[in-house]
Amino acid sequence: MSVAAERRLAFALIQEPYVRSIGRMKDYGTARIFQCAKRVDGRVKAAIAVFDDDMDALICPEYTTTNIVVVKIRTSAWEMVVVSYYFEPNVPVDRYLDQLRGVCRTLGLRRLLAGGDANAKSLWWSQEIDRRGEEVSGWLDEAGLHVLNEGSTPTFFTVRGNRAYSSQVDVTACSVDLRDRICDWKVEEDLTSSDHNTITFNIILQKGQGIAINSTTRKYNTKKANWATFGDKFKNYLTEYKINKREIDKINSIQNLENHIIKYTETVTKTSDESIPKKKLNTKYAILWWSKEFDRSKREMMRRKRRIRWAAPVMKTCVIRAYKEAKEAYETLQRKSNSRV
C-alpha cells in the first residue's frame, strides 16, 4: 500500500492482504478499499484499492466474495470492470472459474481486466504446466481473454529452509478491447517484502465518445458524515422549500418540474454542506511510518534476495542465510511501524 501511494498508482489489485485479527483490510487514508463486506467463508484474500480520486469506483457486491472482488471503475475515458482474485491452492479451481463465468455472463466482456494469484501453471504464462493451469487457460480461451504476462521473471519467490523456490502463478488478463491499451506489463522484484513480486502495467486512456465525466464526484467525505444531523436538516429544508407529495402532485408543466428539481438539489446541497465535511483536494499521501531506516532495510533485503537467483551452488546456503536475516530485520521494523500507526 505504501509503495502504491508513493508511486501515485491509480489502483491496485491485492491478494492475501495483511488483515490482522479483524479478518479484512483496514481503511487507508490514501485509498478507497473494496473488499467482501460479509466474511461468511473466512478471511479476506482479495481486495482492490483505488488511489486516484478522479476515478469513480463501485463494488459489485453480488459477485464479490472473500476470494474474488469485482469493481466497476469509471474514468474520464470509459468504464472498466476490474477483478482481483485469489484461488486457494487446496480448493478445486472450478469453484472460482464458475464464479468468474457468472461475472462475464452478466457484466459482459467489454473492457474487463482481471489479475491475481491463480496458483496454477500453464505455458500461457509459465515455463511449467499443471492440471489447474490447463483449467484456468481453458477458461481464458473460452472467455476470449488475452493473457498479459510477459518474460520469465518469477511472480512468486520464497525461501524455505535452505532452499529457494520460485514460480509463475500470478496471471493478468484482459478483454480484447483493452489488449492494445495495456502496455509495459512487468514483474518488479524490489517493491515488496511479500513472497509474491509486484506486477505493474500502464493503461492508455483516451477520450471515449458519449461519456462526459467531471474530474471527480467525490465532493464530500462521507466517512465522517453526521447522518443524524443530515436527516434532521434535510427534513427541515424539505419543509422550508415546500417539497412534499402535495406540491409534487401539482406539477403540470416542464417549467414547474425544473423548478422543483432546482429546489430539491439546493436542499440536498445545503444539507450536505452543513453535515458532511468536504474532501480535501490534492491530498498528499501521508505515510507516517515511512522512514530512511525502513527504506534502507528494505533495499538491503531486496539486494540479498536478488543474489539468491545468481549465486553459485557452493554459496547458496550462505546467501540464503543472509537474505533471511535481512528479511527478519525488515519485518521487525515493519511490525514496530504498524504498531505506531
Across 220-239, average pLDDT = 85
Which tens digits make up the pLDDT trace of 96-149?
Answer: 999 999 999 888 888 999 999 999 999 889 888 899 999 998 899 888 888 999
Of 141, 172, 203, which residue sits at a domain end? 203
* Contact yes or no for 169/154 (Cβ under 8 A): no
Confidence of residue 4 (pLDDT cuts 50, 70, 90): low
Which tens digits make up the pLDDT trace of 250-305?
Answer: 888 877 787 788 888 888 888 888 888 876 654 444 444 445 676 777 777 777 77
- Four-residue CA torsion sign, 226, 2, 293, 164: positive
Which tens digits make up the pLDDT trace of 172-212?
Answer: 999 988 888 888 898 887 666 677 788 898 888 754 444 34
Of 91-95, 126-130, 161-165, 329-333, the range with the lowest mean pLDDT is 161-165
Q: Which residue has the higher pLDDT, 294 or 71?
A: 71
Q: Can you give the pLDDT at residue 294?
A: 65
Q: Can you give the pLDDT at residue 261?
A: 85
- Reply yes or no on whether the pLDDT at 151 is more than 50: yes
The CATH number assigned to the domain holding 53 equals 3.60.10.10
Q: Are residues 150 and 227 in the same domain?
A: no
For residue 278, CA distances in Å to 46, 127, 144, 183, 190 come to: 30, 51, 43, 36, 37
* Strand (E) or helix (H) holding 198: strand 198-203
Confidence of residue 82 (pLDDT cuts 50, 70, 90): very high
CA distance 318 to 311: 9
**Listing from the earlier edge strand, what are the strands of the sheet with 68-74?**
56-59, 68-74, 79-86, 112-117, 170-174, 146-147
Dihedral pair phi/psi, residue 12, rounded to 5°: -140, 135
Largest CA-CA distance found in the chain, in angstroms, rounded: 90
Residue 282 lies in a domain: no
Residue 112 lies in a domain: yes
What number of H helices and E strands is found in the chain?
9, 13
Confidence of residue 324 (pLDDT cuts 50, 70, 90): confident
Q: Which residue has the higher pLDDT, 42 or 62?
A: 62
* Contact yes or no for 174/182 (Cβ under 8 A): yes
Burial class, 260, CB count within 10 angstroms (exposed 0-12 / middle 13-18 / buried 19+):
middle
Of 169, 203, 237, which residue sits at a domain end? 203
Q: Are residues 192 and 91 in the same domain?
A: yes
The DSSP call for residue 145 is: P
Q: Are residues 71 and 132 in the same domain?
A: yes
For residue 262, CA distances in Å to 250, 251, 287 come to: 16, 14, 42
Q: Are residues 68 and 195 in the same domain?
A: yes
Contacts of 313 (CB under 8 A, 6+ apart): none
Q: Are residues 123 and 271 in the same domain?
A: no
- Reply yes or no on whether the pLDDT at 19 is more than 50: yes
Confidence of residue 86 (pLDDT cuts 50, 70, 90): very high
Residue 280 lies in a domain: no
Q: Can you give the pLDDT at residue 95?
A: 92
Q: Are residues 102 and 238 in the same domain?
A: no
Q: Can you give the pLDDT at residue 117?
A: 93
Residue 216 lies in a domain: no
- The domain in which residue 333 lies consists of 292-340
Q: Are residues 235 and 187 in the same domain?
A: no
Across 60-86, average pLDDT = 89
Residue 251 lies in a domain: yes
Q: Can you give the pLDDT at residue 309?
A: 63
Residue 21 lies in a domain: yes
Q: Are residues 61 and 143 in the same domain?
A: yes
Q: Can you give the pLDDT at residue 41?
A: 58
Q: What nine digits make up the cell of 161? A: 529452509
Q: Can you give the pLDDT at residue 53?
A: 83
Q: Can you give the pLDDT at residue 215?
A: 42
Q: Which residue has the higher pLDDT, 93 or 288?
A: 93
Q: Are residues 171 and 46 in the same domain?
A: yes
Q: Are residues 34 and 182 in the same domain?
A: yes
Q: Which residue has the higher pLDDT, 180 or 4?
A: 180
Residue 235 lies in a domain: yes
Contacts of 318 (CB under 8 A, 6+ apart): none
Q: Are residues 54 and 132 in the same domain?
A: yes
Q: Which residue has the higher pLDDT, 157 or 140?
A: 140
Q: Are residues 324 and 235 in the same domain?
A: no
Q: Which residue has the higher pLDDT, 328 or 298?
A: 328
Give the whole-number percent of the chain exceeding pLDDT 90: 19
In the chain, the number of structural domains is 3
CA distance 59 to 296: 37
Mean of the per-residue pLDDT values of the chain = 80
Residue 173 lies in a domain: yes
Tell me the one-letter amino acid at 164.
Answer: A
Q: Can you give the pLDDT at residue 108?
A: 84
- Reply yes or no on whether the pLDDT at 241 is more than 60: yes
